[in-house]
Structures are given as C-alpha cells and as structure tokens.
Chain A
Amino acid sequence: SQQGEEDPQALSIQEGENATMNCSYKTSINNLQWYRQNSGRGLVHLILIRSNEREKHSGRLRVTLDTSKKSSSLLITASRAADTASYFCATDGMDSSYKLIFGSGTRLLVRP
C-alpha cells in the first residue's frame, strides 16, 4: 500500500528558481528518504532524514521533517535544467522489515 502522498504531482519552474516538493505519510517512521529518478532510469538516493532530525542539508538540497504532522519537504535551490526528474519520498515501517514505501512522486520540469 502507498504510504506517502506527494504534492504537487507536477511542477514546472524556470532555471534558477527554487523548487519545493512536499510529502505526507500515514504511520510512524524511523527515517524518511528522498530519491530522484531521471526518465527511464533507476532511482538515485538523495538524502535520508531520521525521525529525530528536523532539517538536513546536502548541497543545494534542503529537507525538513515534521513528525507531528507526518510530513516532509524537499527544497532544491537555484534549480538547473539537469534537475528535471521525478522525485519520490520513501518511508520505512517501524517493524524493521527492510522495506521502503514510496510516495506517488513529483515530476519536476526545469525550463532553461
């Protein structure tokens, strides 16, 4: 079953602008991850944030986590055309079952 819902489903911005994507989930988690998928390719891990963390940075990426609201956001600053891809959040279960449940994804288009 799908744990996460992402918003918006699609986002189109101009190069240089910031892109913000949101993810909501349903159950308690140990950590939340964001993945990127270029068209027709596999997923690439971007960043992992643990349930006791509120914010994490990696290069132009900023992730926040609000466990009280069961939501996370991914901010890409100063976007580039090469950032065009689909972005998925993924959550684990508290049962240590080695599974991730992926959100529905946000398709980002960065126009040159």
Chain B
Amino acid sequence: DAMVIQNPRYQVTQFGKPVTLSCSQTLNHNVMYWYQQKSSQAPKLLFHYYDKDFNNEADTPDNFQSRRPNTSFCFLDIRSPGLGDAAMYLCATSGQGRYQETQYFGPGTRLLVL
C-alpha cells in the first residue's frame, strides 16, 4: 500500500506558467519535506513542515512556495517556472522523534518546463 503518494508522476508546464505538485501521506507523520533532485545529483531540500511550522532553506528561491492544509497533504507551488526548474521533485515524511529518523519518500514528480 502506498504510504507517500505524489501526483502527478509527470508534469509538463510552460515557461512562466504556475504549477502545483501535490503530496499526500497515510503515515500520519508530523514532518513533511520537499526535495528537488536534478539528474545524477543528490536530493536538495527545499523546505519542510513540522506540523504547521514551515521551515524554508536559506537558498530556496522565492519562486518556490509550499502549503500544508492538514497533516495528510502538502503542496509545492512553483510560481513562475524557469527552464532551470526542470527536475524531479520528491516528497518525504518522517515521524516525530528526538533525532532525525527514517524518511519515507514518494515516487516523485518529474517536471518538464517547455
């Protein structure tokens, strides 16, 4: 059974046209993450939520925003996609713990910007 679900799996958008990627989880985890991964590179953390507390990485461009309306869902909004934003976007979750424990990843959404 899928625990972290990402939709769509593939997304094509036009340069400058806003796009939203979605993630849902059935694990009831407190923490949700969004990563950007470009070809042959490590995942790069964009931001994460601890419950409703939003934590932005210092080098995440303002073009990227996120919403978490409830525990189960989290959205990644790209306000004006550029060609450099074409990448795989990974959502992950983790439970509450004193230290960082296992993260559970969704299958990813591959974004293509035309």
Q: Which residues of A contact B (CB under 8 A)?
A: 2, 30-31, 33, 35, 40-45, 48, 88, 90, 92-93, 96-105, 107
Looking at chain B, what size class is its interface with the partner chain? 20 to 34
A72 to B62, CA, bound (A): 35
Closest residue of A by beta carbon distance from B107: A42
A40, A43, A44, A88, most chain B CB atoms within 10 A: A43
Q: Is the CB of A42 within 8 A of B105?
A: yes
B29-44 interface with A by 8 A CB criterion: 31, 33, 40-43
Q: Which residues of B contact A (CB under 8 A)?
A: 4, 6, 31, 33, 40-43, 45, 48, 50, 55, 88, 90, 92, 94, 98-108, 110
A88 to B4, CA, bound (A): 20
Q: Which residues of B contact A93 (CB under 8 A)?
A: 100
A55 to B14, CA, bound (A): 49
Q: Which residues of A contact B101 (CB under 8 A)?
A: 31, 48
| Distance in Å: Cβ of B50 to nearest Cβ of chain A | 6
Q: Is the CB of B106 within 8 A of A96?
A: no
